[in-house]
Structure 1
Amino acid sequence: MSDRDSSTSASHTEGEVEGEMDEEMDTELDGEGDKDEAQRESAVPGLSSFSSSLRAVVRIKQKYQAMKKRRQEMALLALGADGNPDGAPSKTSPKIFTFDGLTPFSSTSSVPQKKKRRRRRGVLFPNSGGRRAPPKQEQSRAKYCLYLLFAIVFVQVYNAIENLDDHVLKYDLEGLEKTLRREVFGQQGAVDGLLSHLKDYLSTYVHNKPLVVSLHGPSGVGKSHLGRLLAGHFRSVVGETLVLQYYVLHHCPQEADALRCARDLAMLISETVERAEEEEKIPLFIFDEAEHMHDEILDALLQLVATKQSNEYLNAVYLFLSNLGHAHITKHMLHNSSSISMTMTSSGRQSNLVKELTPILRNTLEKLHPLWSEADILPLALLEKSHVMECFLEEMTREGFYPDHTNIERLAGEIEYHPEVGGHEYSQTGCKQVVAKVNLL
């Protein structure tokens, strides 16, 4: 066998094992083959030529194996961790990744890998013309029932408020307030307290107890005058039969008749409250000169006021007028007038007086009879000289006299006064002598 045949057979054997080679490998092999063939033709066949051919074959094989190994490394780097492709030789040992053997013109480094972005699926709408709109959610029908319930509650509350206003308007408390402020002098604090109690009580028709108010003050401060104004107003709004003015010295002057008077008074009150219940009105009971009431009458009134009676007995107003505790009122005003600020208004002084005297009078009156513990105490203050002059002006105008200021001041100077304290000059008899002095003109 010649050298050419041996090289040809060797090259064919390698081709069967490894497969087809690249164009680069074929070119190199062809070049080496042509070179060996020219050398063999020119040289004399011998042992030296055979050894040179064998060395060429060995060099070619070593070069081929090196190129093959380099291509396998490049293929492994390109695949990465995805595994071996079909037909590739399996790895027998782990390899450490390095950048050795990579060329700057390799296919893996030249082409940048783009990161695939995951596309979000859009909301699909039906193919209908016009503007796309999301589907509507069905609303619960119970919501409409809730709205209806709110409307019903609102109407009920509104009607209740309107009914309260109508009930107050029935008694014309605004007109009563104007009358009291116009005709009652020097008792602004007591008038404000009385109107406050009446407004709170008359704003509704259902009560758990009757309203009991007790007015206390010295002689001539306007207790009886205030009672007459209240009686006249309530007679005009609720009727004559639902207003009772009870004068103890007139209806029951003898103490021996106290028990009979108590029974008669209880029967009269029962008839009045029953009539008021039928007419859906609140009656008014005024007891003037309550300091002369006998214990039997006070006990009968206490049973009507404090005991849990039927509904008609709870809807009633009791007004007591007396001079009980007048000594405490006079002493308090004379001793504390100097400490009262002169910059304070008249209404402010009256309100302060009511707050200070109420607990003092309550402690004194509760010792006299338990009835006063059920009442709201309102003290009436002493009248100053300016208040007495207003009483003269009112009485002279009523009697038809010309209201001469000089004449009024002269008449007011004839009234007896307490010693001046703190710039205040209080009358000892109030306006009690005003009517008598005007009649002498």
Structure 2
Amino acid sequence: MNAARLYLSLHVFLSAGVLVHTFEPISTTVFIGVGLGTLGRTIYNYLHESCDSKWIAFNETGLEVDLERNLFGQHIASRIILKAVSGFMSNDNPKKPLVLSLHGWTGTGKNFVSQMIAENVYKEGMDSSFVHVFTSELHFPHLSHFDTYKSQLQQWIKGNVTNCARSMFIFDEMDKMHPGLIDSIKPYLDYYDKLDGVSYRKAIFIFLSNAGGEGIIETALDFWKAGRDREEIELNDLETALSLSVFNNRRSGLWHTSLIDKNLVDFFVPFLPLEYRHVVQCAMAEIKARDIQLDRGVAAQVAAQVARDVVYFPKSERVFSVKGCKTIASKLDYYA
């Protein structure tokens, strides 16, 4: 069995209800005294993450602040994400799971936004046992194992949602994922009350993809050449570009999948390419996050130097960062 199959098989096994816990001395003592009664379960749930309001509670204000303070240059994405997640989490009886598809060039904030959502839904954030991340080339590397991947993926989702209805699934590198594998999860995203006794309507699915990035960049560049501010760009300005790049492109992963035909993706969220000023903001935020003790003026100089060292395109105009803010952390190690 190769590593990918072993990884998925292990998660399927665990999610099916075979749970192994290493008890701390205090919790062992408690369980000896009270057994598996109500008090024991209460204390156990206090010490260990469980699928209840103590561990899962949406913080709308927290998400709004995070998007405003830490996501730079993404006025469209910020607005869509806040409204979509807030509306979904405030609904105790949604008709279907929330399905977000985030599109844009590397380093523009897609993974970062996924993390923000997790941090403001789950107490443990990305470390929560209810947040599950798939990366196409890591978990589904061999096309010849397609049938195995498909079966295990379906079992894995079913097992984890059975364990907790408020589960989150993040699929990275969707543009590299086989369309048939994407289609295999279609039933879990549809308008079903229950499938085999399991309701998926409170789950969140987030797809991350570079597909559509080139079209988004072209639109942003057109606005820049026309002397228009990037904040003037609206979602409808990007819809055509997304349609051509994502839905009609064989390399997009979502090409001709039933997720598109059945309108199961609730929001297609475009991420704009980042300019120099946004890269400076990213560097300043990283300095603050690391608690690097620098005078504000010195910190600004360091951030500016880091931003200047980033590669931009087109080469002559140097408008947009090639890798967004992706290399900021490593470059800051050098300059700070």
Superposition TM-score, scaled by structure 1 size: 0.54
Contact 1:171–1:237 under 8 Å retained in 2: no
Contact 2:95–2:191 under 8 Å retained in 1: no
What is the root-mean-square deviation in Å for CA atoms of aligned residues?
2.7
Question: Secondary structure of 1:234's match?
Answer: coil
Match of 2:278 in 1: 387
**Amino acid of the structure 2 residue aligned with 1:291:** D
Whether 2:331 is the aligned partner of 1:437: answer: yes
Match of 2:114 in 1: 227
The correspondence for 1:285, drawn from 140, 146, 169, is 169
Whether 2:143 is the aligned partner of 1:255: answer: yes
Q: 1:397 to 1:201 in 2, by over 3 A?
A: closer
Give per-residue Cα distances to partners, 1:57-116, cap 9 Å, x unaligned: xxxxxxxxxxxxxxxxxxxxxxxxxxxxxxxxxxxxxxxxxxxxxxxxxxxxxxxxxxxx
Q: Report which stretch shifted further, 393-402 or 216-225.
A: 393-402
Query: Aligned equivalents of 1:251 and 1:259: distance in 2?
Result: 13
**Amino acid of the structure 1 residue aligned with 2:264:** E
State the Cα distance separating 1:197 from its structure 2 match: 0.9
Using CA pairs below 8 Å that are at least 6 residues apart, which structure has the higher relative contact order? 2
**Amino acid of the structure 2 residue aligned with 1:397:** K
Q: 1:433 to 1:401 in 2, by over 3 A?
A: farther
Unaligned runs of at least 5 residues, structure 1: 1-165
**Amino acid of the structure 2 residue aligned with 1:358:** E
Unaligned runs of at least 5 residues, structure 2: 1-52, 249-254
Match of 1:331 in 2: 218
State the Cα distance separating 1:236 from its structure 2 match: 1.0
**Amino acid of the structure 1 residue aligned with 2:310:** I
Match of 2:234 in 1: 353
Match of 2:182 in 1: 298
Match of 1:374 in 2: 264
Match of 2:65 in 1: 178
The correspondence for 1:193, drawn from 76, 80, 94, is 80
State the Cα distance separating 1:359 from its structure 2 match: 3.9
Whether 2:200 is the aligned partner of 1:313: answer: yes
State the Cα distance separating 1:334 from its structure 2 match: 0.9
For residues 100-139 of structure 1, what are the structure 2 equivalents within 5 Å? none
Question: Secondary structure of 1:192's match?
Answer: helix
For residues 73-112 of structure 1, what are the structure 2 equivalents within 5 Å? none
Contact 2:97–2:203 under 8 Å retained in 1: yes
Question: Secondary structure of 2:106's match?
Answer: coil
State the Cα distance separating 1:218 from its structure 2 match: 0.6
Whether 2:156 is the aligned partner of 1:268: answer: yes
Query: Aligned equivalents of 1:170 and 1:433: distance in 2?
Result: 33
Superposition TM-score, scaled by structure 2 size: 0.70
Contact 1:420–1:426 under 8 Å retained in 2: no
State the Cα distance separating 1:178 from its structure 2 match: 1.1
Q: 1:401 to 1:431 in 2, by over 3 A?
A: farther
Query: Aligned equivalents of 1:232 and 1:267: distance in 2?
Result: 26
**Amino acid of the structure 1 residue aligned with 2:102:** L
State the Cα distance separating 1:415 from its structure 2 match: 1.4
Flag the structure with larger Rg. 1
**Percent of aligned pairs with the same residue?**
25
State the Cα distance separating 1:235 from its structure 2 match: 2.6
Contact 2:273–2:324 under 8 Å retained in 1: yes
State the Cα distance separating 1:321 from its structure 2 match: 0.8
The correspondence for 2:132, drawn from 224, 235, 244, is 244
**Amino acid of the structure 2 residue aligned with 1:241:** S
